[in-house]
Structure 1
Amino acid sequence: MNEPCYDVAHLGHVEIYTDKPEASLDFFVNVYGLTESGREGDSVYLRAWDDYEFHTLKLTASKSTGMGHVGYRASSPAALERRVAAIEAMGCGIGWVDGDLGHGPAYRFHDPDGHVFELYYDTVDYVAPEAERPALKNIAQRYHGRGVAVRRLDHFNLLARDVSKIRDFMVGALGSRVTEQIQLDNGRLGGCWFTVNNKGYDVAFTEDHSGGQARFHHVTYAVDSREDVLRAADIFLENGVFIETGPHKHAIQQTFFLYVYEPAGNRVEVANAGARLILRPDWQPVTWTEAERRKGQAWGLKTIESFHTHGTPPVDPGAAKTGRT
């Protein structure tokens, strides 16, 4: 067993591209329940009411959709240096950027499928304006009860052509641990769930059945209870938001889930995801077989086909044959 690595503290933020910026912003603020914390250029910075950093979602106007990048915060300046050295040795580095409204300098790199990651340490704590100041001093922002009113950023999911390569990459680059995985009959990994701390997972990669590359699957914000997820379903229904699947309970990671598409087509999840913690340092990955996954989710709901094919940006019609997106 390798010594656990805790150079990376936690998932910090996700940048999402939208070709319908006004409609997407209205969804994330008024329906999903995030709060705007700043604007710069074509980007709006958003946060959930119990996030402590300046932002956890960067919504950027673009001609396309999908993920711009994902940011993780290192546990110290020295830890950041160690991770940068490890990533450069792997040959997947892009280089340093100055940062943005939410954090200081960040080192960017890419995974084997082409998704862009960044690591940073210097961060900007959120200071609530008068209207958002909480009654309790141990949270950054008051609970506003607007829309779904999601509590915090929880995890994200990316699509990849070869999940086995991703597994080795995440362990080497971020020091992530594999908590659960799907072993397909053909020998490939169908999915892999990773954590850098004691959460069950902060990112999952699943196999892209569409022939695409470097595509985004979904971002997830957590709520406190299953009842909050059911309430979210009613809110989405009343606001004409397309519900893809759920509410239901995943077998893998046991997350109580609800998936919808925001106006630009990016998939978004609301989940009660805080029940499982990985506290033991010698945790061994839980492996699910293809036959076990065919049974569907925890209570028998079959996994919807679009879960394996819908991602952003959309796939070019010839991608399945040529590998292009």
Structure 2
Amino acid sequence: MNGVIIQFFHWYHPGNIWNEFIEKSEYLRDLGITAVWFPPATKCDFGKEGRGYDVYDLYDLGEFDQKGGIPTRYGTKEEYLNAIQKAQELGISVYADIVLNHRMGADEAEEITVHKVNEENRQEYLGEPFNVSAFTKFTFPGRNKKYSEFVWDHQCFSGIDIVHKDNEEIKGIFKIYNEYGTDWTDSVSHQFGNYDYLMGADVEFRNPYVVQELKDWIKWYHETTKVDGFRLDALKHISHEFLKEWITYIKTEIDPDFFVLGEFWKDGAGKISDFFNKMDGLLCCFDAPLHYNFFTASKEGKNYDLTQILHDTFLDHNPVYSVSFVENHDTQKLQALESA
């Protein structure tokens, strides 16, 4: 079935989304909406000011007093679960936005070794490695080990953007030296030489303890929320080897029909297809090239040749696994992928 997903949030939304959805859910059902994409429900570093992409604690869905309060920007855990249940009662599937790439707002600093890299070419290392203090230890004291006792430390991260040395704060991109390597993983996009690093404390997916923790977490998340699928954020920055193992685990151990939608943002369908092929058909992908074609058509109006609307799109390359969209939160005004 060719369903219709509604992204039920935008970057400048004031919040309280779970209750708003419940109020509008029957109207959305009557419009023909078959699935809803909810924003990240996890507790943020910036508390209620965060949008969910500054992820702090994956196990806190608005349940614990952390980062300034109990609710997230979008509501409490109870409200989130009520919204999911209401959608499913109406025959609307629920897709949760999942952010795996990074963590922000660590609870403690550690003494670590880092190597600064050129931000325009992350394969170019600047100077020599040096010792610093950095916030890389997550203990989640507000949750007090409920659901998971796992402690994230610098062995769980590959890079960071702020370090301290001699009482001075230094910003940049720093490769963290850990027991899993002094180089970035190669199984990511190669923009800027290597696109492993995006922001915050970048997760080290070569660490087997991290991989196991994320498997345990996703099992807990599915059992807790009963969502029907995920939208996975920022896949250009995440090891495709990890993603294959993790999604295979979901589909074999949790739910074989679980829907997985990936954001692999490239302007050419061939690049998305290359990533998709590495993933062995385990997920669908957003069609960013079609978004750009829509944008060009909107500018050119009657002068645009509509016979070219599918040129070099993922829909044209792989229609079964392509998810079309016109705009999203990242393409809004003042956001990173704003078209104009």
Shorter-chain TM band? under 0.3
TM-score normalized by the length of structure 1: 0.26
Structure of greater relative contact order (alpha carbons < 8 Å, 6+ residues apart): 1
Higher helix share: 2
Provide the TM-score with structure 2 as the length reference.
0.25
Whichever of the two has the greater Rg, that structure is: 2
